[in-house]
Amino acid sequence: MNGKRIIISGGGTGGHIFPAVSIANALKRIAPDTEILFVGALGRMEMERVPAAGYQIIGLDIQGFNRSSLLKNLKLPVKLLKSLWRAKEILRDFKPHMAVGVGGYASGPLLHAAGTMKVPYIIQEQNSYAGVTNKRLAKKAEKIFVAFENMDRFFPNEKIVLAGNPIRKESVAIEGKRYEALDYFDLSADRKTVLVVGGSLGSDTMNKSVFGAIDRIVEQNLQVIWQCGKYYFESYREKVEERYRSYIKIYPFMERMDYAYAAADVIVSRAGAGTISELCVVGKPVVLVPSPNVAEDHQTVNAKSLVNRGAALMVSDSRAEEELFDQVIDLISDRELCERLVTEIKKMAIVDADVVIAKEVLKLADKNGYR
């Protein structure tokens, strides 16, 4: 067995985890003897999702900066030092040929430790606005894989590879699944369907927007597939299922995104980079509601990259409760606009980012090694 040993670090949300798993899957398809180890943050969703995908993961006791409660940041320096020490220990034990950082709390300590130990690494930057950590880590990175143009604002141009974001291939495989998907959700083929996705953790704003528009949804004879997030599920489920079960299908997390995408006539979504990459491949009319609770407001920048090309509509988070479903109802009845949005968003689709990144990682691993 001459397989390369690759560490993949990061997580925190589905937007980081799904690309990471996609890269790992591509590595295994191209070179089945590759050994892969994930490094994530304890208590975050990667600690469940990565093992479910069939990979080993080690957790670091690390957290992000808490903007809403400064007291919760008192332990941050200690946790950071402990995570750096633990990351070095993991690198010494696993002896990787390459490290891959996908963003999230664990990515910073792991890649910083890799840089000090001469372990080569690459960065996969999903967003159109790079965060502070990745900008610092870029100095020692071998390559930086990006999904948006004009990223030389943040990174050395000679290191940038425009590859797109790795997507969940199984999630965007929707061809011919519409009626199968409608059966899965117990929906009517005679109504238009709106899919609302508030990110892997859910969105309070989008949940309030849906719940506040339920009577209008019924009046318009629409039906909604609503992924509300596990933290919000119980508070909405009884209210919705008691009176509106034939119009509203509510879920904490969407296990079959391919069915959700296939059933949808219009999609309402946050503007995480991974989600946007999937939406471009799916090719449905989209209304984006960028989350304001992210670093450098990068979801708004992500969303505008589509809006400026006429590939999507956008409603701000602050206006969503008042305006979101007005936009959705207007859009769903405007066939010409729907067709125009579909044409433009499909032009932005990149389907093989996982393979491009995996091949480059293996190529770099061939000429580099743990030193």
Calpha distance 155→162 (Å, rounded): 12
Does 15 appear as a known binding residue? yes
Does 14 appear as a known binding residue? yes
Question: Following DSSP, what letter does each residue of 47-112 receive, concatenated?
Answer: HHHHHHTT-EEEEE------SS-GGGGTTHHHHHHHHHHHHHHHHHHH--SEEEE-SSTTHHHHHH
Does 59 appear as a known binding residue? no
No. of H helices and E strands in the chain?
Answer: 16, 13
Calpha distance 321→319 (Å, rounded): 6
Q: What residues contact 362, with CB distance under 8 A and at least 6 apart?
A: 4, 27, 30, 31, 34
Phi, psi of 359 (to 5 degrees): -65, -40
Phi, psi of 210 (to 5 degrees): -65, -50
- Name the residue among 33, 31, 32, 89 with its Cα closest to residue 60: 89
Backbone φ/ψ region at 166: left (φ over 0), alpha (ψ -120 to 50), beta: beta
- Mapping DSSP to helix (H, G, I), strand (E, B) and coil, where does residue 142 land? coil
Place of tokens 């989350």: 291
Calpha distance 105→108 (Å, rounded): 6
The amino acid at residue 255 is: E
Does 221 appear as a known binding residue? no
Does 200 appear as a known binding residue? yes
- Name the residue among 57, 6, 58, 56 with its Cα closest to residue 31: 6
List binding-site positions: 13-15, 127, 168, 200, 299
Binding-site members for UDP-N-acetyl-alpha-D-glucosamine are 13-15, 127, 168, 200, 299
